[in-house]
Amino acid sequence: MDSTACLRLPFLPARTRPSSSSSSSPRRAARASSIKCCAAASDAGASSASISSASPRRPDVVNGVGPAGVEGLAGPPVPVPDSPAPASRDLHWLPRPLTSADLMGVSGEGLKVAYQGCPGAYSEAAAKKAYPNCQTVPCEHFDTAFKAVENWLADRAVLPLENSLGGSIHRNFDLLLRHRLHIVGEVRLAVRHCLLANPGVKIENLKSAMSHPQALAQCEHTLTEFGIEHREAVDDTAGAAKTVAEQNLQDTGAIASSLAAELYGLNVLAENIQDDKDNVTRFIMLAREPIIPRTDKPFKTSIVFSLEEGPGQLFKALGVFALREINLTKIESRPHKKRPLRITDDSFSTPSKQFDYLFYMDLEASMADPKTQNALGNLKEFATFLRVLGSYPTDDEYAC
């Protein structure tokens, strides 16, 4: 310990005590001797710890707190050797901890966003709409995108949940329950399907169309009008475009986005070939941690629960929200895979097996609203299972 670290004692007025020279003199003498030794050690450049071998050496830092100051208060933390402390006691020179706002701004800069499919997929377009400056991470399967976030390979996952024409994507509902990620946002994307083919190929040359099953279903009537009879389903739309380009198929076209045509060097033979022009897909954003709900902007809360068998049970569950004027925007039932069958027995029929169901529900409400908390507390009283999947801002617009 450097000699300059010797503690200087502030001047304190002496207390009035009865004269007791015999008892105070030794103490005063010992104290004076101690101060004198400290000063002598300072002149000689020696460490104050070497004055007395009986007293243990005072540590430089205790629980992250530096040496005591003049007034006996804790000083700033001792800097690391590579960062010498400045002469002043201004604490602004200390580096502050990084926050999520530093690493991930509103534009998503610094975020890694996982999605299912190849580059050029609609899921990638949804990720770019949600986080314009993010780094997208393509994944082979939906489950892979979940695991990428769980294993810290990505910060977010953007996955489709429902389409205005094809309905719900049940696979992702099941994955929401299997994994422990939280919904932190949603985005709606207008889907504009294009018929793509290799250079030189015309529509009349095509005998088959390749794409995702939902994309094929959304373009069924248009493909029939084109005279394309055969359908070939693959995992994603951009993957279909990639296959057509890599294999240089001359009699097969791909249904994908115009961005996929640019990426894989295909020609756009027809645009907006979906049967219904109002074709919108709702995507959700998933993260390892939930966001803090608010009440100053529209929020949506997604939950999943199960009920006991009996008349009026679902009616009772819906009533906890109706009584509090909480609007429901979606309800979806899925078989309970952990309890797929339930045996029922009554006095009027023989025992039978029935499905147990999970109910997925979206509420136009924020978890920060007390009436939402009260409604879920009421539901929990008779539900056999309840889990909040996320409370997040509502996306009321979609990209055209």
- Which residues are part of the catalytic machinery? 281, 283
Q: Which amino acid is at 149?
A: V
Q: What residues pair up with 283 in beta bridges, in sequence order?
A: 160, 187
- The CA-atom distances, in angstroms, between 156 and each of 102, 182, 325 are 16, 10, 33
Q: With the C-alpha atoms ordered 269, 274, 278, 279, is the resulting torsion angle positive or negative?
A: negative
> Could you give the maximum distance between any two Cα atoms of the chain, in Å?
119
Beta bridge partners of 71: none
CA nearest neighbour of 360 among 342, 399, 333, 338: 333
CB-CB contact of 184 with 100 (8 Å): no
The token duo for 284 is 């959700």
Q: Pairing relation of β-strands 194-197 and 156-163?
A: unpaired
Pair 388, 376: CB distance under 8 Å: yes
8 A C-beta contact, residue 195 and residue 255: yes
* CA distances for 320 relative to 142, 203, 300, 328, 371, angstroms: 33, 55, 17, 11, 10
Contact status, residue 253 vs residue 209, Cβ threshold 8 Å: yes
Q: Which residues of 346-361 are buried (b: 16+ CB within 10 A; e: fewer)?
A: eeeeeeeeeebbbbbb
Q: Which helix (H) or strand (E) holds 159?
A: strand 156-163
Residue 367: count of CB within 10 angstroms of its CB = 21
Hunting for tokens 């029922």 — which residue is that? 344
